[in-house]
Every structure is written in C-alpha cells, then in structure tokens.
Amino acid sequence: MASELRTVLVVGTGLIGTSMALALRGQGVRVLLADRDQGAMRLARELGAGEEWHVGGDRADLAVIAVPPAHVATELLALQRAGAATHYTDVASVKALPIDEARRLGCDLGAYVASHPLAGREKSGPGAARADLFLGRPWALCPTPESSPEARAAVLRLAELCGANPVEVDADDHDRAVAVVSHAPHVTASAVAARLADASEVALGLAGQGVRDVTRIAGGDPGLWLGILSGNAAPVAEVLEAVSRDLAEAASALRALAGGDGTASTDITQLLKRGVAGHGRIPGKHGGPASSYVVVQVVIGDRPGQLAKLFQVCDEVGVNVEDVRLEHAPGLPLGIAEVSVQPDAASVLTSALHERGWQVP
C-alpha cells in the first residue's frame, strides 16, 4: 500500500528529528517543526529543516516524535488529542516502553507504529544534524496488533524517504537485539573511556585510532543515555554480565601469565578469536554480508560544504557512496574523508577527483 507523505510534523528538533526533517525536505516533503525548547526549534528552522508548528496548526499526514524515550507516550497522547496528524511514529532507541505507556495512557494505537532508525551520532541537538544520516541504515518498525495497515505504510514511506532500510520486528525482540548491538556497547565504551579520565598526559599523547574507535560513542549525552538504558535495563544488564565474565576471565588469565603460567595464554587467545569472529559477523550496508568495499581517501578542508562538494562529484560520475568516515589531522585545518565504494568504482572516482583538483593521496 503506497502512502503519500505530503506534510510531516517533527516533534523534537534535536539530532534525530532535525536530520529526518532535512532528509524529508530534500525529498520535497513539507516539514512542520515543534520542540519544547524554542531555541532548538529556531535553529532547526534556520538550518532549512522546515517551518514552525503550533498546536492547532496544519494537520500533518504523519507526526514523528523524536524526543527522549520517557516522553514519547505523553507527547503521542497530547498530539493525538490535538488532532495533529493522521498517523504517528516515534524514533526512540527502546520500543517496548513507549508502546506499553501509550497503551496504558489510552492512545489510539491504530494510528501509531513505533519505530527506530539505527543511525545516530555521539552529538546531540539540531546543530549536529545530517540529511544523509539514515542512508543505507536499518530502520526498525514495531507495529502492534492494533496498528492499521495505513499507519504501517506511512512509517514505511518515512524510512524509504530518508534512504533507510525498513525492517519489521517485534518490540521485545528489538529491545533484546539493540541491547547487544547498541546499548551494552555504549556502556562498555563508557567504561573504557572512563579509564582515560585520570590517565597521564603521556598516555593521552600516545592515543591512536584504536582508542578513538572504541570510545567514540562514549561521547554521547549522559542524560539521553540514562533514559535509553533505563528503558531497556534487564536486557542490557544481561549482556553486560556476559561481557563482565569475559573481562574477569581475561584479567585472571593475564594475572596468571604475569605470574609465569604460560598455559593461561590459551584463554586470552580464545577470547581474541571469539572477538574476531563476532566482529566479522557485523553485516555490511543494506544488511548483506560484511562487504569488502574499497576505500578512496580524499584530503578535504575542515570547513563547511567540503563534504557536500565531494558527494557532488560522486553523484556526477555515478559512484554510490557505501560509507564515509572522516579523519581529522590534529592541529591542521584539513581532514581525510575515507569514502567506501564498490571495487570497480574506485578508479572512476579517483580519476574524477584528480581531474577536478582534489588531493587523493
């Protein structure tokens, strides 16, 4: 069932709400914006994410509730009472909590399909928003038995318009899954990063890419993450208990090694090998098998618009960007964009960039 989304209301114009609004604007959708923090709404509007909406304003085809998990159901109820939209979704990182609360509050569950884009950043607020945040990323849809086919179609269309890959999944299964792939990794990253709080200047001066990779997500907003973890407490605790067992075993094997017991190295090797196997199972883009893309490195100036120009070149020569990652050179006004492309597209992109004067080391 195709669903036309002409007007979308975004409530909560932070990182996720504004990113979605920008993606929708890029697809020609009219976007209405609301946030209880007027500053966040105004910044989103100035970034071109849409126009301000007030209760009693135009009715949207779909309202997207992009606020912290604990506030989703009360917002849903208020919006439904105001007749703000025909259909509703939310984007919270946990799914059973908002659905259960919405049911308890007596929301119209027929018009609502809970959802969660598995894409984000360690920064909050509209200033961190990116129109391409959801490209190629999974987007979980968790309809309840009450959800109408029309509501499902509207939320499916939202995910498609943002360039994401919709996946339908039961809310409890979703919560158990994200405990493994998102929430426990966040706490683990925080625990590793916490060791750096009182690390010596010498140690910090020796920090390389590995510790940056492992701790990047630990930079996320503690208030938001407390809400996410509290909303998925038991499944996350279960994963952390398993991680703790592995860490305790590794520490005790290392103590034994330090004491001269060479046989303990087997336990360490086993953990390292299980780590390699687990890492290898992370799927590539579009949920397919872990893919072997070729990375094209491009030197870019650390100023607004450079990445957009780079993507413009990719577009001109018909090269699909599978992934992109930015490396900043410390102390230099430049960075390196690492653009992952299909193997046969690498030489096409490299030549096009050379021709246009880009530095491709």
Ligand X SMILES: NC(=O)C1=CN([C@@H]2O[C@H](COP(=O)(O)OP(=O)(O)OC[C@H]3O[C@@H](n4cnc5c(N)ncnc54)[C@H](O)[C@@H]3O)[C@@H](O)[C@H]2O)C=CC1
Binding positions for ligand ENO, rule: CB under 6 A: 93, 118-122, 182, 217
Q: Is residue 186 at the binding interface for ligand X, with CB under 6 A as the rule?
A: no
Residue closer to ligand X (CB basis): 65 or 253: 65
User: Helices 184-194 and 222-230 sit at what angle, rounded to 10 degrees?
Assistant: 140
Question: Rounded CA gap, 166 and 144, in Å?
Answer: 16
| CA dihedral of residues 155, 160, 162, 166 (deg, nearest 10) | 70
Near ligand X in 201-240, by CB under 6 A: 221, 224, 228
Q: Is residue 114 at the binding interface for ligand X, with CB under 6 A as the rule?
A: no
Question: Rounded CA gap, 279 and 283, in Å?
Answer: 9
Q: How far is the CB of 123 from ligand ENO (least distance, A)?
A: 9
Instruction: Select from 10, 21, 33, 66 the one that contacts ligand X (CB under 6 A).
Output: 66
Question: Rounded CA gap, 78 and 311, in Å?
Answer: 40
Q: Which stretch binds ligand X (CB under 6 A): 87-95, 183-191, 273-281, 310-318?
A: 87-95
Q: What is the DSSP code (8-state) at residue 181?
A: I
Cα 178 vs. chain centroid, distance in angstroms? 12
Among ligand X, ligand ENO, none, what does residue 182 contact (CB within 5–8 Å per kind)? ligand ENO
Among ligand X, ligand ENO, none, what does residue 218 contact (CB within 5–8 Å per kind)? none
Instruction: Select from 3, 8, 9, 12 the one that contacts ligand X (CB under 6 A).
Output: 12
Q: Is residue 85 at the binding interface for ligand X, with CB under 6 A as the rule?
A: no
Q: How far is the CB of 207 from ligand X (least distance, A)?
A: 23
Question: Rounded CA gap, 191 and 193, in Å?
Answer: 6
- Specify the amino acid at residue 184: A
Q: Is residue 14 at the binding interface for ligand X, with CB under 6 A as the rule?
A: yes
Near ligand X in 154-183, by CB under 6 A: none
Instruction: State the distance between the two ends of the chain, measured CA to CA, in whole angstroms.
Output: 48
